[in-house]
Every structure is written in C-alpha cells, then in structure tokens.
Amino acid sequence: MKRYDKQFKEEAVRLSQEIGVRRSAEQLGLSYHTLSSWRRSKKEHGEEAFVGSGRPYLSDDGMSARELELQREVNELRIANEILKDALGFFARDRKR
C-alpha cells in the first residue's frame, strides 16, 4: 500500500476541486475512490484532516486508530489461543489411548 504525506493529499484535494475528481485522480495516478475519500476527510475534519498530520483521529470511545487496530489484534490472538488450547487437549487425550 502506497502512503502519501499530508501535503500531497491537500494538493490533490485542491486540484480535484479545480478540475474534478476523475481528471485529477487520473493525472496523479490515484484511484477515484482514494481521492474522493480524501476530499470527504478534508470536508469533515478541515485542517485536522489526514491521520499522518500528527493528530490522530479518535474513535467514539476515545481510542486512536492504532489502539483500535491493536485491540482487534489482541482479540483475534485470544481466540486463536483458545482454539490452540482446545486442540492441544484433544490431541493429548488421543495420545493417552
């Protein structure tokens, strides 16, 4: 996944406002959806748009995007750990026979 800095995103949004999303996306080598997402983010968050700006968005419960990602990963690992424990018990019972 290619990452773009805040300045590039703001310039891309400005260009899209001048010549349109489709034409500016083609000129910049971006997908239409990426550029329209940046426009939406700029409209919703103004100067604080774009997570790379040093001011991460916070979710409704006050967690940053990275914290939410880590929490999801912890939950997935807990589930995987339980599955492995169950499998270990299953195979241990089978070896006793």
> For residues 35 and 16, is the Cβ–Cβ distance under 8 A?
yes
Residue 84 has which token pair? Answer: 């492995």
Whole-model pTM over 0.75: no
pLDDT value, residue 47: 79
**So where are the chain's domains?**
1-57, 58-97
5 φψ region: left (φ > 0), alpha (ψ -120 to 50), beta (else):
beta
Euclidean distance between CA atoms 64 and 83, whole angstroms: 29
Question: Average model confidence (pLDDT) for the chain?
Answer: 83
pLDDT value, residue 17: 92
Residue 38 has which token pair? Answer: 């940046």
Angle, vertex CA 42, rays to CA 37 and CA 44, nearest 5: 95
What is the tens place of the pLDDT at every residue in 49-90? 886 645 555 555 666 677 778 888 999 999 999 999 988 888
Residue 57 CA: distances (Å) to CA of 20, 29, 38, 48, 67 = 27, 26, 14, 9, 11
